[in-house]
Structure 1
């Protein structure tokens, strides 16, 4: 599977991946004239030596209004500028905030980590130029669609809404299915030794109970049972969705990341803030030998580097066109990570996550929601009691209920995209999300 992703794609596939869907021609459901043109402007932000980016701003009526930062879908959904303008206008009208859309660059010309740098430059500009001067009013909301890059835990960000988030660029069909007991360990030691699928505080109590209940027992013969196949994932069941098919997402990853290991970055795949990746790369033996060799062990060459490059260039014409060895992606054990760190003053904002029932990214949205709730419950318990373990089930239920109120996951019919609406309820959902942002940002 990895070789298929890493080898150069045929021109026909490249053109298909970047070709707008047939549905895009008839999806003009938004209107860019939702607000007067005088309230909109575009500014150019320099990115030091890396050219510049633009920010589209929809100003609120009051200069003391909070700011809503919008991160578009980028190259995953091409040619949707009209729909995006309608989304920005609807958000500005329903939230009462100044909406700033950071047009970050994410393409084959500007691969990762360019979009992360662009978002940080844009965010810093928004903080310096658009936030109210009074600290009590200087709050930011973040809203995005099909976004992976994320700036989790910034103190000014009090609310975040994401639509069909790409929380993990390592997709399920990249990893072969194997028994959990046979999974190898990650390449490097992890932050904790807790399984990623378990709640840290609950896992500890279960281990203590097992140790107390353990007693010498007569060994019995275990009956080997045939393991049940795992349930189908939404990535598999919704793979042929016409709006965001899985082939397009996998192809985009091949273009947007120069190397597969770049997609493991926590800012590219935010789920890795809370757990380690489910996969690891096994590099060819030749790469390992060369990387682990000291300079004295490497073969000497009396020629200077320019002469050697010239010789290698001419010798390359007589070599066979053998495909280079590529690293192999295999499934491995995943362990929990603690975020935000206990030594920091970071706090997670309130979340509103949306992914449609026909979206291949629904499972990722569910996992992100679960990890956020666990992190918020753990952080709240630690900040209020200076403890990291539950005392009793009642206390556990109390903090889990609080975490439920901080993270809301909704799964509407269809895919649920804002810029590619598949039904007529998109405007209502967008207004509800804007009203939620207004409630969280204006009442503070």
Structure 2
């Protein structure tokens, strides 16, 4: 299979299967699980199911090189690898790279005969976060070349859920404190915990987590949180720190005492006047680590309990928000003029699917879904 680099000196896009790339066949855009030190065209880095398709790999940059000396030394050589590696790390660098590469793809790989060409996006882990943002903001059905669907595996779709103030990290009023605290110390998915620990490397400041291009869920609702001073602090000072505020003006004291998080409110997305549409979406996630038998017995006595933040809760939240948008915005608007609107019952569940792939990885599910979508 042939491959070729493109998209400027930083080589942000690598093309595979060149014979198909210039045709009107559907194009797969692949965002790797993590940023790479420098891109290359090695086909072994592609998921096996992607190797049969015309594919553009977007090599976004997110984290800095492991060695500062290495980055300076390579940069001094003046080669393309240096251009790719020497940059200011952290958000929003990866979304800038992704959008730059996507723009190049649309401008240069559109069919010359004015035919339509479908784009499908696949990403995992950090690539999944970028893939969903790209798909949700570039799915224009009436454009002849645009995103039509997306597969995302084990992504983080709401980074604010890692902040201590987020409700998912709070003790429910109806739960036993000992029971809930025991849940919080259960061993979690190591891949998920690694992403949690990388937050301070991936983002330069807490407000970056509130960017809807990083946290796709925030396209659909306001955060419902104040921005904290750091990644591990609450935005609201504890009562003990407010005991002596006599040195402050009275109005500022009152402001501190009444400080609280704003209410989370739904947002209309896609905007009603835009040409965007929620694309075909498959959100895949690994199974959460199993609970010990003692927890399972206590779970049976509770109708609903919060089991914390993991790949499953991330996927389900985004999936539910997209389905709600289809039902409450798109189909509700359609009912105003479509006499056969009843035929769209179940459309949200069909278009947005969330699937637990156990511990076998996502290859089989992603391959089957993409084959079905790209062959239509």
Q: Same fold (TM over 0.5)?
A: yes
For normalisation by structure 1, the TM-score amounts to 0.56
The residue aligned with 2:329 is 379
SS at match of 2:157: coil
User: CA 1:121 to 1:273, structure 2 compared with 1: closer, same or farther past 3 Å?
Assistant: same
> How far apart are 1:430 and its partner, in Å?
2.0
**Residues 24-76 of structure 1, C-alpha deviation per residue, up to 9 Å, x if partnerless?**
xxxxxxxxxxxxxxx23241423xxxx6233222216543311110111224x
**Could you tell me how far 1:435 is from its partner in structure 2?**
3.6
Question: Which ranges of structure 2 fall in alignment gaps of 5 or more residues?
Answer: 65-87, 141-145, 231-258, 290-309
2:188 aligned with 1:240: yes
Aligned 1:345-364 pairs, distance under 5 A: 345-358=275-288, 360-364=310-314
d(CA) in 1 for partners of 2:216, 2:286: 20
Q: How far off is 1:105 after superposition?
A: 0.3
8 A contact 2:316–2:354 mirrored in 1: yes
Equivalent in the alignment of 2:150: 160
Partner Cα separation in structure 2 for residue 119 and residue 165 of structure 1 = 16
| Structure 2 residue 32 is matched with structure 1 residue 72 | yes
Question: How many residues matched?
Answer: 288
Task: Flag structure 1 segments of 5+ consecutive residues without an equivalent.
Answer: 1-38, 181-225, 285-328, 388-394, 415-422
Return the alpha-carbon distance in structure 2 between the equivalents of residues 406 and 86 of structure 1: 29
1:230-255 Cα shifts (integer Å, max 9, x gaps): 9969x94775333x142x22331101
Superimposed CA distance per residue, residues 128-150 of structure 1 (whole angstroms, 9 cap, x where no aligned partner): 22233344431101111113231
Once residues 281 and 346 of structure 1 are traced to their aligned partners in structure 2, the CA distance between those partners, rounded to angstroms, is 29
Alpha-carbon RMSD across the aligned residues, in angstroms, is 3.8
Give the C-alpha shift of residue 379 in structure 1.
3.3
Measured in 2, the distance between the counterparts of 1:127 and 1:350 equals 19
Say yes or no: does 1:85 pair with 2:64: no
Match status 1:127 vs 2:106: yes
- The aligned counterpart of 1:293 is none
2:263 aligned residue (326, 330, 333): 333
For the pair 1:52 / 2:31, whether they are aligned, the reply is no
Change (3 A) 1:237 1:165: farther
CA radius of gyration, larger in = 1
Q: Which residue number in structure 2 is paired with residue 148 of structure 1?
A: 129
Following superposition of structure 1 onto structure 2, how do residues 209-358 of structure 1 map, counting pairs within 5 Å? 227-228=174-175, 236=184, 239-242=187-190, 244-246=191-193, 248-281=194-227, 332-358=262-288
Determine helix, strand or coil for the equivalent of 2:357: coil
Which deviations, in whole Å up to 9, do the C-alpha atoms of 1:349-397 show, x marking residues without a partner?
100110011272210100111011111122332442238xxxxxxx8x9
Which residue in 1 is equivalent to 2:117?
Answer: 138
Moved over 6 A (4+): 77-84, 230-233
TM-score normalised according to structure 2 size: 0.66
